[in-house]
Amino acid sequence: MEAVKKPGVKEPFNLSKRIEWLREYYFRGDTRKWNNEFAAFTTGTPWDEVFDETTFLIVPEVYSFLPTFRKSFLMAARTIEPPQGFFALSLPERRAWLIKEAIVNRVPQELLPGDLIAGGRYNLMASRCWSKAETKARNEAMLGKGGIRKATYEFQDRGYGNCGATSGHLIPDYPRVLKEGFSGVKADLMTKYDALSPADKAGAKGGQLRGMLLGCDMPVELAAKYAALCGELAMAEPDEERKRELLNMRDILARVPKEPARDFYEALQSLWLTHMLVLTDENYPGAGVSFGRIDQYLLPYWEESMRQGMDREFGKELLKCFWMHCNFAYDAMIQTGNQGIPAGYGQLFNLSGMGKDGADMTNDLTWVFLEVIDEMSPILEPKPNVRLHEHSPDALLDKVVDMISTSQGAPFLLNFDERSMAGMLEEAKRAHVEHLINEDNVFDYASVGCLENTMCGNDRSATVDCNPNLVKAVELALGGGQDLICYTDALWGKSYPAETDAPKTGDPRTFADFEAFYAAFLAQLNYVMQRMAALYERSTKLRADYAPTPYLSCLVRGCADQAKDCTQGGAELSFVTVEGVTFATTVDSLLAIRYLVYDKAVCTMDTLVKALQANWQGYEILQAQAKNRAPKYGRDDDDADALALRVMKDWSDIVWRYRTSSTNAQFRPGMLSWNYWIGSGFILPATADGRARGQFLSNAICPVNGADTNGPTGNANSVGKALGGRDAFGQVQNLLPNGASHTITLSPSLMRDRERREKLKAFLRGYIHNGGTALQINILDAETLKDAQNHPENYRNLLVRITGYNAYFTSIGRELQNEIIARESHNRY
Amino acid sequence: MTKIRYLDIQRMSSEDGPGLRTTVFFKGCSLACAWCHNPESIAKKFQVHWLGSRCIGCGSCETVCPNDGLSRDETGVHIDRRLCTGCCACVSACPTLALECKGIDAEPEELCRELVKDRAYFGRDGGVTLSGGEALLQDGAVELLRLLKAEGIQTAVDTCGMVFTEQLQAALPYTDILLYDLKLMNDAEHTRWTGRGNAMILRNLGAAALWAKGSGRLWIRTPVIPGATDSEANIRAIGERIRAIGCAERWELCAFNNLCTDKYKRLDIDWTFMNTPLVSRRRMEELLAVARSTRACEDIRATGALSEEE
């Protein structure tokens, strides 16, 4: 029996006083006494630069702040006098030295009351350590006339999208540190350094390895400082129990991360310090620096501790402290608002999933993690991603469904192994790296950031570095190589000159059939990719030349062997992921052109082009036909979905043709639109699918909002087909190795009782078979959301996720809020 | 081959039998229940209706009706039901789907292809449900069921029971679950509220029971309609009959639903239950207690939305 029940916002539960306090303290936000705001440091030279905007080139909403950030971080910076002969050192050594000096000796070590894990402040904005000549050359390339900054702005302003060499977005080799400690990592580096020829030692390779050796000392020295702090605090501690805790922490920190971890507590402490220093090293608060298969590699330590008699709840208490540390990443720019800029950090971890020969890897620790997520939720970091596959146990699905139903769907993303692994194997074949990705290890893939699939510990796939708007190619095909509208500079409103570089694909009015139009579209799609690859080359080369991350490089397999930084292509697997944005809008536009102009002759090409240029003003009937009569992707309509697959194949083929020359990284395809589909909707002109300028574009692999009139299963089937479906032998195909973000909203009515939750499980089992690589489920009814809009004070903790773009509902803009509400309704237009 | 005339296909349905289901609603019914949730399913003929919220007032429909059955004024589009033949010229002319034709004709093969698309989601429990209207009135239903079974799909038929026994018998070999409506045990009341007596329905229930004693699964469904079917005497009488046949797996008391108010307006039908409120939780508890007291079967439950007000 059912009542029309309003779901409330999920509350945390089963928290100890300690965790309750830490959690509550965190949510006090910018009123806190203690925070983890960026600490800025300069070498004090008159030419010094502190803020490197390269990392932010993929965040268009902060473009207008970049000049301010550049100046204000420098002004706020404290000086660290560099030692004699500093600028004669290699750049990796300079950077490694300065970061280490800052985090070990200049940033205070602190411990919040009751905290069981050490490692507090870690957000750093430190001197780039460039010499005067380097600064001049670098700034010329970035800020000069025709520099990267301007070219990037123009790329975005003209609706192409964005790209840039961005930090984070990888899974460091944490298990190695747990097993060998930094002493092991360092010994290996020493061996490799000693093996270099004298010429190499004197050159770039020697400089890189010496920088990495310095990097290895950083966690060891910092742990010693924290050990001393714990000792001091223990001396002054009146409470006996807390005193024992502090002394225990002191002993643990005296050992790890320098030495191998022996139990769960040591492993978790080692993991935290190792991880947080990646964020320190990159001067970037954790965007997509992910943990990988954490319930797999921490399991031996967990089991050891359980054997030694650790209380299970104490193990969870440690994890909950770990949770809080991950969240303090958001303090980086805390003065700019609730979550600072940007909002989606994504220190992701995977749970469960497939092992060798299709075995299911759910273990005791998986359940521990799920409990911790449930008890801590709602909270943003770290972000869980549960891997499902055909043999996932029923009990796991039960737990997943229960958690989805009590937490508005927000607690985690779901990743689907069969489809994801098919993509990784496709990548191995396409990029000729079968020796690194194959049937024997592909199940050990994991996700980065939100859902971007990579291998662990040796893979920098630059998963959000390139974000082109695919629908730009339709616009250029309709314009015969010209923009359809006049684009303006977002900052000053100045008009850009009419485009000249795009191929002249001919006047579409003269095209005999849809195939002619499609050929023009493909030529333009290649142009969009070519233009983006050229722009990206400049920013990745700039990073390779000027922004080494020697500490991080110690944690990425391949860097030591090649004596190359991971910003220079040092990782064994080096890819650049192209996240195609506006996929469904592109497919639907092509479907509409085929339907309106060629199949049904509803209008001429001339009329259609004029209608788009007029933003449908005066063409409302045609717009309604485009919206409602033309076929759409996302309805499980085989004919429409066939065109979606064709676009997917042709586009991914184009992507695989490109490589960077400076870092020798292969481009690979994926679909994740972060929040770009919103912003670019205001830039790009009207589209043939009936969308007016200012309306949102489609998100990642999702159908256009509202187009999925056959419900969630039809939607999911279309997504699976667009990714490649299954071959004649029933083998799962996946053209997108990175994976594709898919968000659906389900009505709370599916969660009402046990019987209906069984139905949701059936949906997930079906999705494993038919759907995409990753799924985010939101369980929200429009009424709750509207109430949250009007009474934000009552919904401080209401989490929503779109693509793993993960935010507190009340902290996002009104437009996106409305978008989420519209999404819930599943109405036709 | 006989075409099937249906209204709509609903995928991921959680209400028409066990598991996740795809439900096809047939058009045309042998009863005309006064409370019907799907009034557009009663008549077999094509019916046009107008959804004001989708209309952009473009006037594309105005001149296309061959019978002058459509007019437009400031309050919207009006369809003269005496003149409308269901030719749907106006529907074709409408760019926004504000004018909709209720009724689609399809070959059973064509329909089957559409219905099996969610096979992966059906799992052990789910499948396809034929609902309506009254699916068994159409010859194509048996062919569709046969095709679905050949595809290995679990099938359910939601029937009002008001069909020739031969029609029911033809469908049963291809049916896994029968969702069988028992609305009113009093024959005169049944005639008053549904337009027909219940003799044939009760006779067919016997045939269904025989089948259920073999391999079939029988679910009985009773709509709980305020003032019509919601007397304790009626519920008790239905319960006793279910107990007598002795092979029902489940009995659902389906709470009255008023979400269809707009459908009646769009079809220009005055609806008896226009202002009838939802069944209250307390009333449903009482009826459930009555139902359970009859020991009709193991699993007796209520479905649908209830009001919390007394």
Give me the pLDDT at residue A270, please: 98
Quick one: pLDDT at residue A343? 53
Q: Is residue B272 a contact partner of residue B35, using CB atoms and an 8 Å limit?
A: yes
Complex ipTM value: 0.94
Range list of H helices, A145-293 = 148-157, 174-194, 198-202, 204-236, 240-255, 264-282
- Would you call A747 an interface residue with chain B, using a CB distance cutoff of 8 Å? no
Give the mean pLDDT of A332-345: 62
What SS3 class is residue B292? helix
In chain A, what is the straight-line distance between the N-terminal and C-terminal CA atoms, in Å? 33
- Rounded to 10°, the helix A312-327/A17-27 angle is 10
Residue A442 in any domain: the answer is no
Structural domain includes residue A282: yes
d(CA A248, CA A116): 9
Q: Which of A257, A194, A185, A192 is nearest to A223 (CA)?
A: A257
Residue A6 has pLDDT above 50, yes or no: no
In a domain, A828, yes or no: no
A692 touches B: beta carbon within 8 Å: no
Q: Do B120 and A765 touch (CB under 8 A)?
A: yes
From A289, A292, A293, A295, select the one nearest A329 (Cα to Cα).
A289
pLDDT per position as a tens digit, A130-163: 999 999 999 999 999 999 999 999 999 999 999 9
Per the CB < 8 A criterion, the answer to whether A471 and A585 are in contact is yes
- Residue-level pLDDT at B51: 87
Amino acid at position A614, single letter: A
Mean pLDDT over each residue of chain B, to the nearest integer: 94
Q: How far off is chain A from B305, nearest CA to CA, in Å?
A: 6
Evaluate whether residue A423 is within a structural domain. Answer: no
Residue A601 near chain B (CB below 8 Å): no
Residue A750 touches partner B, C-beta closer than 8 Å? yes
Pairing between β-strand A466-468 and β-strand A161-163 as defined by DSSP bridges: antiparallel
CA distance, residue A725 to nearest chain B CA (Å): 13
CB spacing of A762 vs B54 below 8 angstroms:
no
The beta-carbon neighbor of A763 closest among B9, B121, B308 is B121
A825 chain-B contacts, CB cut-off 8 A: none
Mean pLDDT along residues A332-340: 66
Q: DSSP of B98-148, one letter per residue? A: -EEEE-EEE-HHHHHHHHGGGHHHHTTT-EEEEESS-GGGSTHHHHHHHHH
Across the interface, whether the CB atoms of B54 and A828 are under 8 A apart is answered yes
User: What number is the average pLDDT over the span A373-390?
Assistant: 93
**Is residue A709 predicted with pLDDT exceeding 90?**
no
Within 258-287 of B, beta carbons closer than 8 Å to A belong to: 281, 284-285
pLDDT interval class at A29 (50, 70, 90): confident
Distances in Å between the Cα of B111 and the Cα atoms of A640, A768, B22 are 18, 25, 12
The mean pLDDT value for A514-521 works out to: 98
Residue A454 lies in a domain: no
CATH assignment at residue A308: 3.20.70.20
Per residue in A622-665, pLDDT (tens digit) is 999 999 999 999 999 999 999 999 999 999 999 999 999 999 99
Flag whether residue A639 sits within 8 Å of chain B, measured between CB atoms: no
Q: What is the pTM of this model?
A: 0.94
What does the pLDDT read at residue B67? Answer: 94
Q: Return the residue in B9, B14, B92, B224 with the most chain A beta carbons within 10 A, the one to mutate for interface testing.
A: B14
Question: Is residue A802's pLDDT more than 70?
Answer: no
Pick from A304-308, A374-378, A821-825 the range whose average pLDDT is largest. A304-308
Does the pLDDT value for residue A803 go beyond 70? no
Indicate yes or no: CB of A713 within 8 angstroms of CB of B11: yes
Residue A10 confidence class, pLDDT cut points 50, 70, 90: confident
Give B89-121 pLDDT, tens digit per residue.
999 999 999 999 999 999 999 999 999 999 999
pLDDT > 70? residue A823: no
Give the mean pLDDT of A234-252.
98
- Would you say residue A450 has pLDDT above 80? yes
Residues A364-374 have a mean pLDDT of 97
Residue A5, pLDDT score: 40
Largest separation between any pair of C-alpha atoms in chain B: 61
Q: Does B19 touch chain A (CB under 8 A)?
A: yes
Helix (H) or strand (E) holding B303: strand B299-303
Evaluate whether residue A301 is within a structural domain: yes
Query: Where does the pLDDT of residue A337 fall: very low under 50, low under 70, confident under 90, or very high at 90 and above?
Result: low
pLDDT tens digits, A39-85: 999 999 999 999 999 999 999 988 999 999 999 999 999 999 999 99
Q: Where is pLDDT greater, at A791 or B77?
A: B77
Contact A713 B301 (CB under 8 A): no
Asked whether residue A108 is assigned to any structural domain, the reply reads yes
User: Which pLDDT value is given to residue A380?
Assistant: 85
Cβ–Cβ under 8 Å, residues A745 and A800: no
Tokens of A661: 């020359």
Please state, as a whole number, how many other Cβ atoms lie within 10 Å of the Cβ of residue A13: 9
pLDDT at A749 over 80: no
Average pLDDT over residues A600-618: 98
- Tell me if chain A has a CB within 8 Å of the CB of B51: no
pLDDT of A408 reads 65
Question: Quick check: A717 and B281 CB within 8 A?
Answer: no
Please report residues of A whose CB lies closer than 8 A to that of B11. 710-711, 713-714
Residues of B in contact with A710 (CB under 8 A): 9, 11
A330 or A460, greater pLDDT: A460
pLDDT of residue A498: 84
What residue numbers bound the domain in which A253 lies?
A: 17-142+172-361+375-385
Nearest CA in chain A to B121: A766
Q: Is residue A83 part of a domain?
A: yes
Q: Do B303 and A758 touch (CB under 8 A)?
A: no
The partner residues of A580 in beta bridges, in order of sequence, read none
At A170, give phi and psi (nearest 5°): -160, 170
- Mean pLDDT, consecutive 10-residue stretches, chain B (310 aa), reads 90 89 96 92 94 89 94 94 94 94 96 97 96 96 98 98 97 98 98 97 97 96 96 98 96 87 85 89 96 97 78
CB pairs under 8 A between A and B: 91
**pLDDT confidence of residue A781:** 73
Confidence bin at A797 (pLDDT 50/70/90)? low
Distance from CA of B188 to the nearest CA of A (A): 30
A chain contacts of residue B219, beta-carbon cutoff 8 Å: none
For each of the domains in chain B, give its residue range(s) and CATH number, in order of start: 6-43+107-303 (3.20.20.70), 47-102 (3.30.70.20)
Contact B306/A1, CB-based, under 8 Å?
A: yes
Total domains present in chain A: 1
Q: What mean pLDDT is reported for chain A?
A: 93
Confirm or reject contact between A4 and chain B (CB < 8 A).
yes
